[in-house]
Amino acid sequence: MDGFIIFLIVAAVAVLVFSCLRIVPQAHEYVIEFLGKYRATWSAGLHLKIPFLERISKKVTLKEQVLDSPPQPVITKDNVTMQIDTVVFYRIFDAKMYTYGVVNPVNALSNLTATTLRNIIGEMDLDSTLTSRDTINGKLTGILDEATDQWGIKITRVELKNIIPPAAIQAAMEKQMKAERDRRETLLQAEGHKEASITRAEGDKQAMILAAEGERDARIARAEGEAQAIYLAKKAEADGLRALMEAGIDATVLELKKYEALTNVANGRAAKLIIPSDVVDTVKKNVIFSETSGLGDQTDAAVDPEPEEKQDPCCD
Q: Provide the residue ranges of all domains of the chain, joining segments of one domain with +.
A: 18-60, 65-171, 194-228
How many Å apart are CA 109 and CA 154, to the nearest integer? Answer: 11
Report the C-alpha gap between 20 and 30 in whole angstroms: 14
Coil, strand, or helix at residue 22?
Answer: strand
Whether the pLDDT of residue 288 is over 80: the answer is: no
Mean pLDDT of 20-39: 88
pLDDT exceeds cutoff 70 at 293: no
Q: What is the pLDDT of residue 116?
A: 92
Residue 230 has pLDDT above 70, yes or no: yes
Q: In what order do the strands lie in the sheet with 54-61?
A: 37-42, 28-34, 54-61
- Identify the H or E element spanning 32: strand 28-34
- pLDDT for residue 252: 64
290 vs 180 pLDDT, higher one: 180
CA angle 242, 243, 247 (to 5 degrees): 115
Q: What is the pLDDT of residue 235?
A: 83
Contacts of 45 (CB under 8 A, 6+ apart): 23, 24
Residue 66: predicted pLDDT: 92
Name the least confident of 8-17, 25-34, 37-46, 220-229: 8-17
The dihedrals phi and psi of 310, each to the nearest 5 degrees, come to -90, 135
DSSP label at 248? T
Higher pLDDT, 11 or 116: 116
Task: Please measure the distance between the N-terminal and C-terminal CA atoms of the chain and give it in whole angstroms.
Answer: 215
% of the chain surpassing 90 pLDDT:
20
Predicted local confidence at residue 294, as pLDDT: 47
Has residue 304 got a pLDDT over 60?
no
Strands 28-34 and 21-24: unpaired
- Which is nearest to 49 in space by CA: 27, 16, 11? 16
* Domain covering 65-171 in this structure, CATH number: 3.30.479.30
User: In terms of C-beta distances under 8 Å and separation of at least 24 residues, what long-range contacts does 32-37 make, across chains too?
Assistant: 32/56, 32/57, 33/57
